[in-house]
Structure 1
Amino acid sequence: MMGKTLRATVIRLAVIIAAAVGTMPAVADDKITIIVSSIEKQIYLPAKLAEQLGYLKQTGLDIELRSVPAGANAEKEMLLGLAQGVIGFYDHTIHLQARGKLVQSVIQFSQAPGEVALVSKAAAKRIRSPADFKGKTLGVTALGSSTHFLMHFLANNAGVKTGEFATLPVGAGEKFIAALRQGKIDAGMTTEPTLSRLTAYGDASILVDLRSVASTEAVLGGTYPGACLYMPKAWVDKNRDAVQKIVTAFVQTLRYIDTHDAREIAEKMPPEYYGEEKVLYIEALKAGKSMFTADGMMPENGPPTVLRILREFDKAVQGKPINLANTYTTEFVKAARQAFPE
């Protein structure tokens, strides 16, 4: 059997060669790989839940969900041809279009980021709002990630220029917790269940909450669609039947989330997702459940908000013409909704 490292190298070379001659395989090895940026995060709950409920298996497709530490990493692997899609933040579709890469959100999981800016216990007296970020070290999952985008916006919007604070990529989960507890970062942006673990034990407090539509609109000035499944448009166009089956499975999952309470949903998740802190996991899901869309549709006022924020500080997007209509499609979701009437 070919080792994973060797196989990845072979695939990467194949992609480079294929790109050079202008051809790309529709599906590698008849397997559809979807990369999730830290699959254990509650913002990406629909990914694992769809698998746990059996909806992905019911598609008849060979679908692999693979987790990587950050959205920026997932994006790179997809562009290399190592995956057919990414479950990450919608803002990546805009960032990639600015770089000449056409990808689309084919289903929108959330209508709010689900992210929270935390301040460590040690720095709480010195940081009472993003206006106090000057001279501080801020933690994000990775440079170029959605947490990086949003943290910079919070600082810039509060009058703190990009060069006046440091940004440190610290990952998520245990790595983020360690960085904050060890004083490597003064504040940072993270999600559930990491958030609840830090606040429950007094290690951090909430500075900015972006878990609901209302709080997101108040802070960002509009709806900010977060988690979605995005794919290269060329692959979508060549594999429409497969995309429809995948989207339909996720629409079923979002319906399940919408019609079941946090405890029922948690019971479907693998025990390792909450460990010995199941109660915290359930409470966190209760607090953030409203971020998910009920049917996978993109909020109409969402894309313009995301573009406005990215244009304020993202150099890759600044000055570039962006066609928002090409960053997402609702046709697959609409077809799935017809299969599951209210």
Structure 2
Amino acid sequence: MKRTHKTLAAALMMLGLNSYAADKITIMVGGMEKQIYLPAKLAEQLGYLKETGLDIELLSEPAGVNAETEMLSGAAQGVVGFYDHTLDLQARGKLVQSVVQFSQAPGEVILVSKAAGARIKSPADFKGKTLGVTGLGSSTNFLTQFLAAKANVKNSEFTTLPVGAGSSFIAAMGQGKIDAGMTTEPTISRLTSTGAATVLVDLRTSKSTEAALGGPYPAACLYMSTAWVNSHKPQVQKIVNAFVKTLKYINTHSAKEITEKLPPDYYAANKQMYIDALEAGKQMFTADGVMPEHGPATVLQVLNGFDKAVQGKTINLASTYTTEFVKAAK
């Protein structure tokens, strides 16, 4: 009888653990400290994620491609990363979709190091150079490859080096490991404020993005496996509600007010610099989480310019995002 009771108790305990694991929702962020992914941490800091009543855990990976891998392996239910991954994954036979769109521009730039400034005046000069990206297969890699291809520079004619963001990107540039590279705030301001780098291509606003890429480029979003979304609609709705509420907060508050809600380590020891960068780039965020019109078509056009996984494939853009949840958000 004792053995039976122990076995039953163990079984019940395992059932409880499995239930807990099933209830936990993990969202991987492709670099939590990056300003482009601000809505993720801000939603947590404002208490909006807790208000959902769900057990939501935010985890950070240095590059979006690493976060994507975590989701595909089942270690996470969602990714805060770039929308372009949904198209690339569909071309590879994996269905995922953006459920809330954070931004309508990449919020990134290509920086050229002070040492390479005289040798790189445009993407046409990428030939023979080493360019930094957050990770191979990341959106910074996608966009760098497109800008090179647009300038008639083949991928085989330059080297891309995964260097992450923040201090690791700054170190790579300072040590001469990369001549130029694509990164985001607050890394941009940390390098340009000291004269260590200058901006070559600016994708921080809708206007500059359209000039460089040919149209609106929806970037940061929350994307999830289509199968998981379809089988967990109540949970997805609660999560989207929290993020839409956060986007409205960003749209109706100053950069200073927003920054006050963030942990001090987000400022990289210079709070005012972070505030100034956010004030300049705040317009990249959508006000309501809705996918920008014509945005998906621009992303497909960009990927078709260099991505061999996408080229020649029929991509169903309508299945790469949904507005069902943002339209129902309260």
TM range (shorter): over 0.9
Amino acid at match of 1:245: K
Report deviation, 1:275. 3.7
Q: Does the alignment pair 1:93 with 2:95?
A: no
Q: Does the alignment pair 1:309 with 2:302?
A: yes
Q: Deviations over 1:206-254 (max 9, x none)?
A: 0000000000001100000000000001000110000000000000000
**Residue 14 (structure 2) aligns with:** none
**Residue 19 (structure 1) aligns with:** none
Aligned equivalents of 1:139 and 1:304: distance in 2?
27
Aligned equivalents of 2:33 and 2:207: distance in 1?
25
Amino acid at match of 1:191: T
**Residue 20 (structure 1) aligns with:** none
Tell me, yes or no, if the aligned pair for 1:26 and 1:235 is still in contact at 8 Å: no
Q: Deviations over 1:150-176 (max 9, x none)?
A: 001111111111111111111111110
% identical aligned pairs: 73
SS in 1 for 2:207: helix
Alignment of 1:8-47 (within 5 A): 28-47=21-40
Q: Does the alignment pair 1:236 with 2:256?
A: no
Query: Is the alpha carbon distance of 1:26 and 1:228 closer, same or farther for their aligned partners in structure 2, counting shifts above 3 Å?
Result: farther
**Aligned partner of 1:199 among 192, 205, 214:** 192
Report deviation, 1:27. 8.6
Q: Does the alignment pair 1:227 with 2:220?
A: yes
**Residue 326 (structure 2) aligns with:** 333
Q: Which runs of 5+ in 1 are unaligned?
A: 1-24
SS in 2 for 1:295: coil
Aligned equivalents of 2:94 and 2:211: distance in 1?
32
Report deviation, 1:26. 10
Report deviation, 1:319. 1.1
Q: Which moved more, 1:154-163 or 1:252-261?
A: 154-163
Alignment of 1:60-79 (within 5 A): 60-79=53-72
Amino acid at match of 1:324: L
Query: Is the alpha carbon distance of 1:155 and 1:321 closer, same or farther for their aligned partners in structure 2, counting shifts above 3 Å?
Result: same
**Residue 11 (structure 2) aligns with:** none
**Residue 270 (structure 2) aligns with:** 277
Q: Deviations over 1:161-200 (max 9, x none)?
A: 1111111111111110000010000000000000000000
SS in 2 for 1:308: helix
Aligned equivalents of 2:53 and 2:183: distance in 1?
35
Q: Larger C-alpha radius of gyration, 1 or 2?
A: 2
**Residue 279 (structure 2) aligns with:** 286
Q: Deviations over 1:280-319 (max 9, x none)?
A: 1001101110100000000111000000110111111111
**Aligned partner of 1:141 among 128, 134, 142:** 134
The 4+ residue runs of structure 1 with deviation greater than 4 A are: none
**Residue 245 (structure 2) aligns with:** 252
Aligned equivalents of 1:321 and 1:134: distance in 2?
31
Amino acid at match of 1:172: A
Q: Does the alignment pair 1:127 with 2:117?
A: no
Aligned equivalents of 2:238 and 2:60: distance in 1?
21
SS in 2 for 1:75: helix
Number of residue-to-residue matches in the alignment: 313
Query: Is the alpha carbon distance of 1:31 and 1:277 closer, same or farther for their aligned partners in structure 2, counting shifts above 3 Å?
Result: same
SS in 1 for 2:199: strand
